[in-house]
Amino acid sequence: MDWSLRACGRHGHVTYAPEEEALRTRLRAETAMGEAWRCLRCGDFALGPPRAAGPARDAPVVLRGRALRDAAVLRLIAVFRWTKAVLVLAGAYGVWRFRTGHDAVRRAFEQDLPLARPLAHQFGWNLDQSGVVHTLRTALAARTTTLTWIFLALLALAALMLTEGIGLWLLKRWGEYFSVIVTSAFIPVEIYEITERASAFRIGLLLVNIAAVLYIALSKRLFGLRGGRAAHESERREASLLEVEEAGRAAHGPGRAPRPTGHS
Ligand SMILES: [Zn+2]
């Protein structure tokens, strides 16, 4: 499966005419059907004028090679987060259903109590001052409040995971920071859960999350790691420039005639 070709099929080829004459001639080809430009993503020639032009340093950064692999890993993590968010939402729904069911029990208790009152009175038992009734009332009320808080906490957790997934999927830098901070914050909880009851699944989940945090923080140079944002940007730009040059060299390599593609 060639992901570059798939991306070009969906979004069209990425052609760019650099101002630098040397690079320009290497990316351009003259065909019987007119000029063609080498696509920076899939490497094929696309007929027609370039999509954009300018200095080579402003050439679009195309997701290919390492950048494409990085994006695939981040989007895989995003899918994991969304899956977890759906599970948490299902849990929240369960708590909500139980909570409302719980309310029904309480309502029944409050409605039936007045009916029981005259009968209890016959036995000389004042229900309104009964310790048992009072305890039952507070227990039902307190538990409903607790369930509401659990429900709200689960909703907040699901919102965190959905946001994290969106940031990672869109390959945003805030998404990377968000993910590293949120995932790190839950690592102590995961360790605590393992000390409570160790299972292969829990340990595996912890290792995956630690690996995700390290991968994102180091590969994206977050928190000033490995030179920080400036180093990350220059690395990407450098890679992009090198790719423009490589594509040019490949175009004029021995025995490699341009193969114009019909679409652009
Ligand atoms: Zn292409």
- Token reading at 168: 């990672």
How far does the centroid of ligand 1 lie from the alpha carbon of residue 41, in Å? 5
How far does the centroid of ligand 1 lie from the alpha carbon of residue 45, in Å? 8
14 domain-assigned: yes
How far does the centroid of ligand 1 lie from the alpha carbon of residue 171, in Å? 21
Token match 């299972």: residue? 199
- In 3D space, the residue among 230, 228, 225, 201 whose CA is nearest the CA of residue 214 turns out to be 225
How far does the centroid of ligand 1 lie from the alpha carbon of residue 23, in Å? 18
Looking at the chain, the whole-number percentage of residues with pLDDT higher than 90 is 26
What's the pLDDT score for residue 29? 87
How far does the centroid of ligand 1 lie from the alpha carbon of residue 15, in Å? 8
Q: Which long-range contacts (CB under 8 A, 24 or more apart) does 245-249 make?
A: 245/23, 245/26, 247/26, 247/27, 247/38, 247/40, 247/43, 248/23, 248/26, 248/27, 248/38, 249/26
How far does the centroid of ligand 1 lie from the alpha carbon of residue 69, in Å? 17
How far does the centroid of ligand 1 lie from the alpha carbon of residue 14, in Å? 6
How far does the centroid of ligand 1 lie from the alpha carbon of residue 13, in Å? 4
Average pLDDT on 138-150 reads 76
Q: pLDDT at residue 264 above 60?
A: no
Provide the mean pLDDT of the chain.
81
How far does the centroid of ligand 1 lie from the alpha carbon of residue 175, in Å? 28
What's the pLDDT score for residue 255? 39
**Residue 210 CA to its chain's centroid (Å):** 16
Alpha-carbon span 259 to 44, nearest angstrom:
7
Average pLDDT on 239-262 reads 56
Which has the higher per-residue pLDDT, 185 or 229?
185
Least reliable range by pLDDT among 121-130, 155-164, 254-263? 254-263
Rg for the chain (alpha carbons), in Å?
31
253 domain-assigned: yes
Query: Which run of H or of E encompasses 217?
Result: helix 200-219
What's the pLDDT score for residue 193? 86
32 domain-assigned: yes
134 domain-assigned: no
10 domain-assigned: yes
How far does the centroid of ligand 1 lie from the alpha carbon of residue 80, in Å? 29
How far does the centroid of ligand 1 lie from the alpha carbon of residue 242, in Å? 17
26 domain-assigned: yes
How far does the centroid of ligand 1 lie from the alpha carbon of residue 51, in Å? 12
Token match 């060639």: residue? 2
Predicted TM-score (pTM) of the model is: 0.63
49 domain-assigned: yes
Alpha-carbon span 216 to 73, nearest angstrom:
9
pLDDT range class, residue 236, cuts 50, 70, 90: confident
- In 3D space, the residue among 43, 85, 48 whose CA is nearest the CA of residue 65 turns out to be 43
How far does the centroid of ligand 1 lie from the alpha carbon of residue 205, in Å? 38
Number of Cβ within 10 Å of residue 16's Cβ equals 24
- In 3D space, the residue among 40, 11, 5, 7 whose CA is nearest the CA of residue 23 turns out to be 40
How far does the centroid of ligand 1 lie from the alpha carbon of residue 158, in Å? 38
37 domain-assigned: yes
Give me the number of domains the chain comprises.
1
What's the pLDDT score for residue 256? 42
What is the per-residue pLDDT across 97-128, written as a single tens digit (0 to 9) for each?
Answer: 877 777 777 777 777 777 777 777 777 767 66
What residues make up the domain containing 49? 3-62+240-261
